[in-house]
């Protein structure tokens, strides 16, 4: 399993489309690797699984999305709201 545990965001950082990079690991406590949002989107599209993992151990499935403007981004929709999982992770 791949866990996204931190995010890098461009100003203003208020939507998932502002995420530029993520910090992720293959374990829930391992060292983080920094990767672009676009690369994670490609991996998910290829069939790899990612979950967001908060410091409180809350998890949600991460999905690949494309905005109406054609921007590839990643999001979680565990409770029907995209903005409350990835954007609540620690900012790197």
All structural domains of the chain: 2-88 (3.30.70)
DSSP string, 16-62: GGGEEEEEEESSSSS--EEEEHHHHHHHHHTT--EEEE-TT--EEEE
Is pLDDT at 88 greater than 70 in this prediction? yes
User: Which pLDDT does position 44 carry in this prediction?
Assistant: 98
Span 75-82, average pLDDT: 77
91 with 9: CB under 8 angstroms?
yes
User: 84: pLDDT confidence band, cut at 50, 70 and 90?
Assistant: confident
pTM equals 0.93
pLDDT digits (tens, 9 = 90+) for 6-62: 999 999 988 899 999 999 999 999 999 999 999 999 999 999 999 999 999 999 999
Contacts of 10 (CB under 8 A, 6+ apart): 18, 20
- pLDDT score, position 78: 72
């Amino acid at each position: 399993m791949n866990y996204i545990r931190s995010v890098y965001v461009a100003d203003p950082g208020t939507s998932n489309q502002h995420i530029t990079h993520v910090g992720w690991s293959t374990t829930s406590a391992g060292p983080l690797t920094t990767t672009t949002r676009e690369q994670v989107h490609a991996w998910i599209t290829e069939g790899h699984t990612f979950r967001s993992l908060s410091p409180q151990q809350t998890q949600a499935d991460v999905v690949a999305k494309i905005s109406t403007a054609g921007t590839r981004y990643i999001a979680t929709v565990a409770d029907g709201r995209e903005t409350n999982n990835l954007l609540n992770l620690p900012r790197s």
